[in-house]
Each structure stands twice: as C-alpha cells, then as structure tokens.
Structure 1
C-alpha cells in the first residue's frame, strides 16, 4: 500500500510538470500571436488539485460505506491473477465509468461537481486534474460498486479507476491530431475535444475513459469535424478567477433553483433532471438547445432561399 502512495505521488509530479511545460509553450505562442495566456486557468486547476488532496484526509467519502456494503454482500471473491481476469476487470470498469460519466452530464446533482472539470475555456493538460472538490460527497462510487458486489476488492477497483483517469491526462490537448484506426476503439484527444466542446452539435458526447466503444454502442459517439471547430468551456461560460466561485457556483445555482421551484416535485426535478431543465419545458437542456439550433437553421435557410 505504501508503494501505491509513492507511485501516486510520482504520477502527480509528472502530470503537473508536463502541464506546466505545455503552459509555458502555449504562453510563448500566445505572446508571438499578440495575445495574453490565461494563467489563472492553470491556477484554478492547481488549486483544485490541492483542495482534493486536503479533502482526502477528511472522513467524508461515501465510497467507504457503499463499497463496504457491496463487499460484505459480494457474490464471489475475484482474484486478479490472470490475463483474462485483468481484461474482464478493465472492460467492466470501463462500462461502469461510461455510465458514471454519462450520469455526471445528465443528472444535475452530479453535474454540479463535474461542471468544474468543464469550466476551462481552453483545453490544456491542466484541465485534466481540475475535477472538483465535492466528488467525494456525491456518492458517485455507486457506479463502481457493482464490481465490488461481484467480488473485486474495493482497493483494486479504486486503483483501476486511478489508472483510467491517468490515461485520460494526455487527452486534454488541442495539438495532437486524429490518430487513424486508434479512434475506432480508444478514447483520443480528438474524441475528448468533442466531449469538452460547448458547440450544440457536440454536447453530451464521448463519455468513455480509455475506450470509445461504449459510446459507439450506446449512440453517444460524435466525431470531431473540420467544419465545426471545438469551442471549449460551458454553454454559459465562466470567467471567474476565484477558486471558491469556480468550485461552488453550480451548487449555489442548483440550491437557488430548488428553493424557488414552488413545490417538491419541481425541486426534485432540478436535482435529478439534466442541467438546464426547467419545469415549464422552456429550459436549456441539450435537447432544447438542439431544437432551437435546428429552428434557427431552418429560418436562416428559408431567408437565404428568398
């Protein structure tokens, strides 16, 4: 276990160092182009990482009781002692990660944390470790509990998830092009650029961690297009330099919507429906934004045909 802590520390140092190197190169390029590099974005990401390291010392995680219950009532006891067992664990974890990630975009309660990861208006390596301070409090461990229930030890599940997230570090770039056949099976920078884009055509797509096959299987894969450059950040962009605003603004807006909802049913709707949902059906969910977008194109096409 101590060795795992050393490995995690080493990985953190490498990740931060690589992101800083990229930041210096991007800042230099920005100066040549007569622009200012947004160093505060890197600052927010570093503050996020430090905050999560501090949170790790607090006994507030819902993963512990959820995993403990699942392990206590497990169906089997699985030993990861063969290539087949490793492969099955990898695929099973990817399946769970896909649904965790999809829920994080489609259920506002989970989105309140995950929106922090999507808040940067530029996609850089620093974005990879801006994950939000409140993840431990929202019970997302429930999405990985089936693996524990089947008999995989909780610490193995968590270690596998850490490796999944480590793989995703290199995906947060704009300077790596499409990678040919690799795009058909694995998550790539191109696929992940789409995931981080706020363009209407790109919303709620490409949820995979290491693999992209579950997106293809469940109809959420969207390919990056040359005629539609990715616009990064949230649908309603945030430009704050304040780490507390960055971390909690979505929780505050969720609380305000629930408070002003008028009744319990609407309050539950704000909590469990997708971001942008409104009880009168006039919100800004992905589906509603696409309907508006299609209507605007239809009007523009009709005007252009005159």
Structure 2
C-alpha cells in the first residue's frame, strides 16, 4: 500500500495539534476553504500519481539496470545515509530550478499558491511533477543506488518537510543554521523582496548557505505568502494547469521564434519584449493586495466538509487498490476522485459549476452501484463502508443541491 496512506492519520493529528496551539495563542491558523482545497490538491496529486509514479520508477530502474557504475548494498546503513545526503543535495537543485525555470515553476507553483501557511500547505502538491522531476534524481541510479533505497530516501525527505510548514514554531537557534526549519521555510514561501527565491533546502539548509540562497526570517518584516501572480481560484485542475496555460499563451502571442522557446526556460515572470510593451503588468505590491477569501455560507461549508470527508475515504481506497486494478478501472477511479474534488472546490468558490459537477459525479457513482453492484472493480460486499459512504454522500448532496439551486453565487472577484 502507498506509504502516504499510513502517514495520513499522522498528518491530520498534527493539523489538530497545530489548531490547538494556534487557539492557545489566539491566532488564526486556518481558513476553511483554503485548507480543504490545499488538502484536496494533495489528494489529487496522490491519486493521479498512481500511474505517473510507475513511469518514474520504470525510468529509474531502466537507468539503474543498464547504466549504473557501482552495485551498492541496499542493506548497508552507509549506503542509506549517503543516498539520503545525495538525494537532499539533488532535491536542492530540483527545488531551486523549480523557481528559476518557467516550465518547472509551472509544476511547482501549485505548492506556493495558498496565501496561508500551515500544515495543510505542506500537503498542497502538484500533479505534474512526473513531467521533469524524475530527471534530477537519475545520478542516484547511475551511482548504483538501488531503487528501494531511492524510494526510501525520497519518502524520508518528503515526510521531513511536512512539519516545517507552520507558523506555530518560532526560531530554533543553532538548528536553523543547519537544517530546514519552520522559520527558514516561512522565508521560502514569502513573496517579499528580501525573501523571494530563498531557502530551498529539503532537510539541510546548509546547501543554501553554500550556494548563496539563504535568508534569515526578519522579525520586523512579516512574511507575506502566496505567489506574485495569485491564482485566486480553488479549482484543483486550474491550479495545476494555469502556469502551463500562461506560458503557452505567451509563446503563442510573441512574434520572435526564439522567444517562443525562451518563455519556457526563462525565470518565472519573464516576458518577451513585444508582450511586455503591449501588455505591461502592474508593479507588484504585496502589502495592498487583497487576500482571496470568498465568503462561504455555513450550509455550503457543511456540504463541502461532508463530501470532503467521504472523498478522503474513497481516495484512500483508490490509493490502496488502483495499482492492482485493470488500467481502465484505475483511470476511471482516479478521474472520479479528481472530478469530485473539483466539484467541492467549485462550491467553495461560489461557482455555478458546482451544481452540475456534483450531479454528474454523484449520478455516475449511483449508476455504478445500482447497475453492477461494483465500485470501480470491487464487489460491494468487500467494501460495505465505502458503498454506504457514497450513498450517504448522494443523499446529502441531493438535499443540499436542492437547497442551493436557487441561491448560486458568482465566483468572487
């Protein structure tokens, strides 16, 4: 089973602990809609990676089998420690170039789109990392790091970074000078001039000190989170596609052929001279920009919260079974989960699409249950809880959709 499935209860327990600590400090750590959508983007990332991870692992194994220079022992502690250190070094460059190359930023930007900073932000992950992310770790395969060790150290590096996404832990003295920490990572998520494009380290912050990308958190300048081109949406599909769409739009519109290529490899925010002159962007001022937080009626919050909890159950089932399902069933299950999260976020945006998307996904679920007695390839007698959950979701949604059908709001500006 996917290790993230086992880690999920720990993630939510720590979110609860963070909420408790914020309450003690009389601080507001979470926004309901932003939190649901950040966690939802993580869930979408995990279910879509059911297939993309197989591709990345396949490439790694191919390089390991045919191009490795050494054969390292997967049972050696020294091999694991060396692989973790090298992985963290390669992660630094992957992360850094993700901020310095347009097409790589189009994937990584998903993680930075939230204007909040809490443990749910850590779960906010891209679904398109498989396009180029695997390239950075092939040196491990060439050196002979066994695939199992690569998977293990990648998971350690990823899980370590969860706890550093919080405002509830202050500066940690000497620890901040050696390791990635909450203070260091708050800086990384900042759009303030002094914080921009700093502190890329995953476990060690020493890489930033070595390569000149380190910055201290200044108590006199609070960090402002988000991106300089704010998303201002909750839609998980658009969150994953908007960076690529902006690059493709500029590549299409610019006249010079060289610039059609350059928009993909230049730093984020770079634009060809003809587009910059014809359509200049306003000066960036993070201190006057309103935060995206459309009002969400309490009834919509209840609907979205219930659907989200049931979707997490379905997502867990998807992660545990999809690798064993026939390709068509697995792809359909992933698509249903993504559609469901998109519907939930549409409700939170106040979009009229929420009604239509909810009806489509719930009718699809009911049709599957009633026609074949199966849930994406599994007999319902093996999944009674999931079948019941989907039926409850359908009935709850039907009542709420009727209540809201005449009170739909437009998307907040």
On whether the aligned pair clears a TM of 0.5, the verdict is: yes
CA contact (8 A) 1:185 1:213 kept: yes
Check the 8 A contact 2:255/2:274 in 1, yes or no. no
Question: Is residue 15 of structure 2 the alignment partner of residue 19 of structure 1?
Answer: yes
Conserved 8 A contact 2:254-2:274? no
1:245 aligns with: 238
Aligned partner of 2:228 among 225, 231, 235: 235
Report the TM-score when normalising by structure 2.
Answer: 0.62
Q: For the structure 1 residues 273 and 61, does the alpha-carbon distance in structure 2 shift closer, same or farther, using more than 3 Å as the test?
A: farther
Of residues 149, 155, 158, the one that matches 1:162 is 155
Aligned partners of 1:232, 1:173: CA distance in 2, in Å? 12
Residues 170, 36 of structure 1: alpha-carbon distance in 2 compared, 3 angstrom cutoff: closer
Is the alpha carbon distance of 1:239 and 1:148 closer, same or farther for their aligned partners in structure 2, counting shifts above 3 Å?
same
- 8 Å CA contact 2:18–2:168 kept in 1: the answer is no
Question: Any residues of structure 2 matched to 1:194-209 within 5 Å, and which?
Answer: 194-209=187-202
The alignment of Structure 1 onto Structure 2 pairs a total of residues equal to: 279
Task: Give structure 2 stretches of 5+ with no counterpart.
Answer: 277-281, 286-413
One of 109, 114, 124 as aligned partner of 2:118: 124
**Residue aligning to 1:279:** 272
Deviations along 1:65-123, one digit per CA (max 9) or x if unpaired, are 53134212111111143343232112111111101100111111111111010011010
Which whole-Å CA distance do the structure 1 matches of 2:238 and 2:190 have between them? Answer: 21
Residue number in structure 2 paired with 1:144: 137
Q: In structure 2, how many angstroms separate the alpha carbons of the residues matched to 1:228 and 1:143?
A: 34
Alpha-carbon distance, 1:126 to partner: 0.2
CA distance in 2, matches of 1:84, 1:54: 33
Q: 1:63 and 1:281, CA in 2 relative to 1: closer, same or farther beyond 3 A?
A: farther
Asked if 1:153 is matched to 2:146, the reply is: yes
**Alpha-carbon displacement from aligned partner over 1:137-191 (angstroms, at most 9, x marks no partner):** x221110110011001123212211111100101001111110111111110000
> C-alpha distance in 2, partners of 1:42/1:275?
26
Deviations 1:192-250 (A, max 9, x none): 00000000111111010000111100000111111211111111333313222222211
Q: 2:97 corresponds to which residue? A: 103
Matches within 5 A, 1:1-306: 5=2, 7-23=3-19, 26=22, 38-58=31-51, 62-71=55-64, 72-136=66-130, 138-280=131-273
Q: Secondary structure at the match of 1:170?
A: coil
Length-normalised TM-score, structure 1:
0.83
Give the conservation status (yes or no) of the 8 Å contact 1:66–1:142.
no
Question: Secondary structure at the residue paired with 1:161?
Answer: helix
Greater CA deviation, 36-45 or 247-256? 36-45
CA distance in 1, matches of 2:248, 2:24: 41
Is 1:51–1:133's contact at 8 Å kept on the other side of the alignment? yes
| Partner Cα distance (2:222, 2:105) in 1 | 24
Higher relative contact order (CA 8 A, sep 6+): 1
1:266-285 deviation line (CA, Å, top 9, x unaligned): 121110111011232997xx
Specify the structure having the higher radius of gyration (Cα): 2
Q: Which residue of 2 aligns with 1:304?
A: none
Q: 2 CA distance for matches of 1:176 and 1:60? A: 33
- Do 2:198 and 2:215's aligned partners in 1 also have CA atoms closer than 8 Å? yes
Summarize deviations over 1:36-60 as a string: whole Å, max 9, x none: 9521111112221221222133357
Q: Root-mean-square deviation (CA), in Å? A: 2.7
1:62 Cα shift? Answer: 4.8
